[in-house]
Amino acid sequence: MNLLDRLVGSSDAGRRADAVLADWLGEPRGRAQSRLRAGEVTVDGGTVAKSHRLRSGQRVRVAEPAPTDVPTPGPVPVRYEDADLLVIAKPAGLVVHAGAGRRGGSLVESLAAMGIPLADPCAPHEAACPTGRPGIVHRLDRGTSGLLVVAKTVAAHQGLTALFKAHDVERVYTALVDGVPHPPQATIDAPIARSLTQRTRFTVKPGGRRAISHYDVEEAYGRAALLAVRLETGRTHQVRVHLAAVGHPVCGDRAYGATASLAQELGLDRPALHARRLAFRHPVTGRWIAVDEPLPADMARASDALREATDVASEHPVD
């Protein structure tokens, strides 16, 4: 199975293979060079050196790497827990469950190591159950930090699944984005579909699944802005895709067009996206559950640096 299958366009003709791959995959050039050395990349069916200059019309394919075993991560912070479910604060860099190219090293393994029981919604029909995903009813991207609810019982799993399907869960994200959106408050109603050329990415596309996001600029820094984004639907990569579609990608999100320079200046090595609020009616007890999570240290430092720079600029305007 291919991670990427794409034709070289005129804009990339004449460029080095490693540089083009890094841009296409949204990863460091060193990782792209490793793929080329490992033979994971073919150009018109053959392997090439990292310095190979691509030609317009060539077909570039990137194969899925062989699965690697990842050690079980340490305990994750628990923000709410009862007999049926728990809400955790997922750190950036932790995958929710093992997927292609990975074995272990996920939130599911971490919770199991903590002795937390997770619902098996497929029992007694285990053959129909997604492997490695007990208790999981929604996800956060690996690079996204913040709140996630996990089911401990089948009743909670079924109830939470129904709540998410009916869009009856309040989810609010904080996003640090390139530039300042105008207007400062808006609704993005744009369908999302999987990319035809890069299967790990998504795009706004007619005929895709309806997706609705509401954003509000909370702080504007000139070069960047801090947004509150409330999801009305919950498509894969929805916040990232929608903000990129309106010209303001999440800072540090190279996969969706963010500039590398600002993220490097701010010390961000992941998309600056944080799930800050999760609220819902408990599917078993009926109790209203609302959990808020402050910004993680990396996003807080970046925001402070931008705020300070903005204050200094306002105190010393250029004539």
**What span, in angstroms and rounded, lies between the C-alpha atoms of 311 and 305?**
10
DSSP state of 53: B
Check 12, 18, 84, 141 and give the catalytic one. 141
Contact 250/273 with Cβ under 8 angstroms?
yes
Q: Which of 31, 33, 109, 40 lies closest to 70 in space, CA to CA?
A: 109
Neighbouring residues of 248: CB distance < 8 A, sequence distance ≥ 6: 177, 178, 179, 180, 181, 225
Give the distance, in angstroms, between the CA of residue 267 and the centroid of all CA atoms in the same chain.
Answer: 18
DSSP state of 198: -
**What span, in angstroms and rounded, lies between the C-alpha atoms of 54 and 48?**
10
Helix axes 29-37, 17-25, angle to 10 degrees: 120
Q: Which of 64, 67, 65 lies closest to 2 in space, CA to CA?
A: 64
**What span, in angstroms and rounded, lies between the C-alpha atoms of 151 and 116?**
10
Q: Which residues pair with 145 in a beta bridge?
A: 274
Q: Which residues pair with 189 in a beta bridge?
A: 212
Q: CA–CA distance from 148 to each of 30, 107, 144, 162, 239 (Å)?
A: 32, 10, 11, 16, 16
Active site residue 141: yes
Q: In terms of DSSP bridges, do strands 145-151 and 85-90 run parallel, antiparallel, or are they unpaired?
A: antiparallel
Neighbouring residues of 181: CB distance < 8 A, sequence distance ≥ 6: 215, 217, 225, 227, 246, 247, 248
Half-sphere exposure of 92 (CA within 13 A, CB side): 18
Catalytic site residues? 141
